Amino acid sequence: MKEEANALYKEGRFKQALIKYTELIHLYPTNANNYSNRSACHMMMEKYENALNDARKTIEIDPTHIKAHVRFIKCALSMGKLLVAETALSRLSEVDPKNEILATHRKKLKEIHKHLEQEAEAASTKQYNRALIEINKCLAICSRSNSFKIRRAEYLAHLRRYKEAEEVVDNVLQVDPLNIDAKYVVGFCVYQSEVDRAVNYIRETLQLVPDHKKLVSLYKKARKLADRKKAGNDAIKRKEYSEALGFYAEAMAVDIGNLEMKKKLYYNMALAQYKLGNLQKSIDECSNALVIDPKYVKALMRRGRCYMDLKDWEEAVKDLTRACKLDSGKDCKKLLDEAKQKFASSRSDHHSIIGVPYNAPYQDIKRAYKQKALVHHPDRHSTASHEEQKRHEKKFKEITQAYRILMKGYKQNGRYRSSGCDAHYPTDFHDDRTDEDDEDCYGNPMSDMWYAYSAFLQEQRAHFFC
């Protein structure tokens, strides 16, 4: 039977060889070689825990069995059992002081300890990229270490590489289904995007180990965030939008590092602001969400809807086009088509840009222009958000361009009375010539822009000295 088992091993049929060696152990339980050979089978099948146990049994029976000592050291090191490996190296040095693996494995242990020190230093200062590099170097030697794998998964999670982190701990849980540290990493990853599911998962896991500090801390945080978020959602359903904003702000303050949940909370706040009629604030909240995730379709659509309500058709088309590329749903396409149609018509409708009817006299146009230019002048919005500054600057340029085109059309048409300048003019005029100074009642757009700016300064001075 021994020859048959050895032949199976040489053929690479390790499972069958293992069965034969087990039979031999039952027949000859004090034969050290049988345990040693079965240990070799376990190693070839990458069952290092079983290989370690058989090697240990071999050494108990025969303390001078060199191959068993070597296998024991290799298994211990591969599994990251550093203290066990160091002790085994000391025992081998007593039995065989000149064995060649002594120097190489002591060198490996020294390297591992060095990497672990650097990993601990990096982790303490939250340099997770560096910590990940160091633990990966440890895993290059201790490839079967579950504790090192779990630490690797934690660093991946801190670097927001959640899918990779879950793959690592799933591998650990296949071997050790009750590994609490691995379950903690799973809970941490789930918490980043599905806080309600995370609460249930962590609660169930805590039943196994109620005093696990990391799990307890994560559970409290997840529970608080979930409660505040639910309170906000309930307030939205009751149409109490201002109250909802407060709850969402509280939820966000629970864990500002949870970007996935932060993104969703920004969107919910944008929805509440929209319902309150605060379109610019809704745009700002959507922009905050899109900084975290530029492909967040719901935020793109909400911001596009706000731009449509503000009649900023060009920005609406930009956002809705991006949204439709990511999501080809009917709602998105319908909004985009509407925005495109409005944008196309608004580009030639200079009267609506200025805010006057088609047949408005010159003085009304000039007055409306100055009023709108004053509202949207960039200096008035120097303390606003970047998005709002851009919107007002663009609107200011659009108003000025519309005014200049109308004035050129008015001048070219030539139908006016020098005293009143209240003639009407065509709206489809397009002048490709360079700009010229307009005289008297036609108005000089640059002087009108200065007038608007001067009015703005006067308003600021009056406010300051009151």
The residue that leads in pLDDT, 62 or 357, is 62
Who wins on pLDDT, 147 or 421?
147
Closest CA to 203 of 190, 285, 94, 192: 190
- Report whether 438 contacts 411 (CB < 8 A): yes
Q: Per residue in 188-225, pLDDT tens? A: 999 998 999 999 999 999 999 999 999 999 999 999 99
The percentage of residues in the chain with a pLDDT greater than 70, rounded to a whole number, is: 86
pLDDT digits 0-9 by tens, 264-275: 999 999 999 999
Per the listing, tokens 């303050």 go with: 253
Give pLDDT, residue 411. Answer: 66
Six token digits for residue 146: 């579950």
| Predicted pLDDT of residue 431 | 32
Question: Domains along the chain?
Answer: 1-98 (1.25.40.10), 294-354 (no CATH), 359-411 (1.10.287)
pLDDT in tens, 105-141: 999 999 999 999 999 999 999 999 999 999 999 999 9
- State the pLDDT at residue 375: 84
**Taking residues 243-262, what's their average pLDDT?**
95
Alpha carbon distance 116, 148 (integer Å) = 10
User: Averaged over 363-376, what is the pLDDT?
Assistant: 84
Using DSSP, state whether 460 is helix, strand or coil.
Answer: helix
Task: Tell me the DSSP string of 157-186.
Answer: HHTT-HHHHHHHHHHHHHH-TT-HHHHHHH
Identify the sign of the CA torsion 26, 27, 30, 32. Answer: negative
- Residue-level pLDDT at 371: 85
88-97, 170-179, 216-225, 443-452: least confident range: 443-452
pLDDT of 97 > 70? The answer is: yes
Burial class for 327, CB neighbours closer than 10 Å (0-12, 13-18, 19+) = middle
Q: Is-above-0.85 flag for pTM?
A: no
